[in-house]
Amino acid sequence: MTVRSGFSMLILVFALPACGTANKGARPLPGDTGGGGATTLPPIVMGQHGLPVPPGGAVAKPAGTAGNLAVLSWAGFKAAVSWTFDDGQPSHIAHYAELQATGVPMTFYVTTANAGLADFDATWAQAVRDGHEIGNHTVHHCHYDGTSLSGCTSGSLAATTTVEDEIDQCTTHIASNYGQAGVWTMAAPFGDSAYGKPAAARFLANRGAYTGLIAPDGNTDRFNLPCYMAVDNDTAARFGSQTDIARAGGKWLIFLIHTITPTSDNWYAPVDIADVTGGMTYGRSQGDVWMGTVADVAAYWVGQQLLAAAAPTVTGGETTWAWTLPAGFPPGKYLRVKVDGGTLAQAGWPLEWDEHGYYEVALDAGALTLVP
Ligand SMILES: [Zn+2]
């Protein structure tokens, strides 16, 4: 890397994939559509490649020796927090406008045997238009032990139905009815860990239901992600203290909410809407916590591991890292990286320095080169 060379890799042969303005504004921001209720916080400011802009700025482009490639954990924020809502419950539908008014991108794990509920499909289609993620929570919400399905809570399961059917028919319903380009994550019904295996063949990640936080280094099984599951009458203060713990430790925290009150449909672990939105607003108000969907944060987290694991090759003084995106990885995702100096390039194009302290690397490109 100390061998100096020209910019032979920077010949402008190909257009940089998935860069520039193509993605800018492609996804609406939660809160933009005036879903009802007032939010006291301004909309989250998004960068040109779909990641929110972190605090800070006016960081000079590094001018030292080329080297020391490093990925900024959680897109340059101190921590990440995702809010997930399971089952497609009537109380989520009833309180959707208040959730939307927080401006926080959310993940709704829907169980599609509940699609007959009032406003079910219409609400989740609106959620996609509002920039939220709809995730897979299977068709009938059954226990799965790795062999058989049992104890389903929604609809009636045919005897011939397999776990693959349970997952794939839910994905088909989401893809057919909600206008989402793909389905990238699922949540295991009851948190049953055996869902991890079929999830691994289909998705970027699967959320379980056990307690824990996720570190940037990737030791957590992405097909059995931990969470903080709200208990009966949980409070905004407790959600806030969980957020504080994640923020202090530089971790990713996933909240799991079941029933939201007031409601006449109390399914499980009811929490008042003011406590839910209070917890969400608290996270946003920190300013240095990335509030993102599970698909968005997981893509960043997995992408960071891919780049960290890539063995660099050096040719003519230029260092190249290459990676292959795994199955279920969403398109159009980016990583934020920094170096001590030199020029980073993808597909022959030099990357632009962002004064918030990073270059944005297109994961779809599959390779990154550092030119001294
Ligand atoms: Zn569930």
pLDDT per residue as tens digits for the range 168-195: 999 999 999 999 999 999 999 999 999 9
**Tokens linked to 152:** 């389903």
Centre of ligand 1 to C-alpha 115, Å, is: 14
Centre of ligand 1 to C-alpha 3, Å, is: 56
Q: Are 86 and 63 in the same domain?
A: no
Give the residue-averaged pLDDT of 232-259: 98
Q: Are 69 and 104 in the same domain?
A: no
Instruction: Confirm if 121 and 177 have CB atoms less than 8 A apart.
Output: yes
Number of domains into which the chain is organized:
2
Q: CA 282, CA 291: separation in Å to the nearest integer?
A: 11
pTM value > 0.95: no
Centre of ligand 1 to C-alpha 227, Å, is: 13
Q: Are 159 and 304 in the same domain?
A: no
DSSP state of 311: P
253, 287, 321 — which closes off a domain? 287
Centre of ligand 1 to C-alpha 248, Å, is: 29
Q: Are 64 and 89 in the same domain?
A: no
Centre of ligand 1 to C-alpha 269, Å, is: 11
Q: Are 190 and 277 in the same domain?
A: yes
Centre of ligand 1 to C-alpha 258, Å, is: 8
Q: Are strands 271-272 and 260-261 parallel, antiparallel or unpaired?
A: parallel
Q: Are 156 and 212 in the same domain?
A: yes
Confidence bin at 315 (pLDDT 50/70/90):
very high
Q: Are 166 and 124 in the same domain?
A: yes
Confidence bin at 97 (pLDDT 50/70/90):
very high
Dihedral sign (CA 148, 151, 152, 155) = positive
CB-count burial class (<10 Å; 0-12, 13-18, 19+) for 161 = middle
Centre of ligand 1 to C-alpha 257, Å, is: 10
The answer to whether residue 356 sits within a structural domain is yes
Confidence bin at 253 (pLDDT 50/70/90):
very high
Centre of ligand 1 to C-alpha 186, Å, is: 11
Centre of ligand 1 to C-alpha 95, Å, is: 18
Count CA within 13 A, CB hemisphere, residue 65: 7
The per-residue pLDDT for range 182-239, each reduced to its tens digit, is 999 999 999 999 999 999 999 999 999 999 999 998 799 999 999 999 999 999 999 9
Structural domain range at position 321: 11-26+45-74+298-371
Q: For residue 8, give the 3-state DSSP assignment.
A: helix
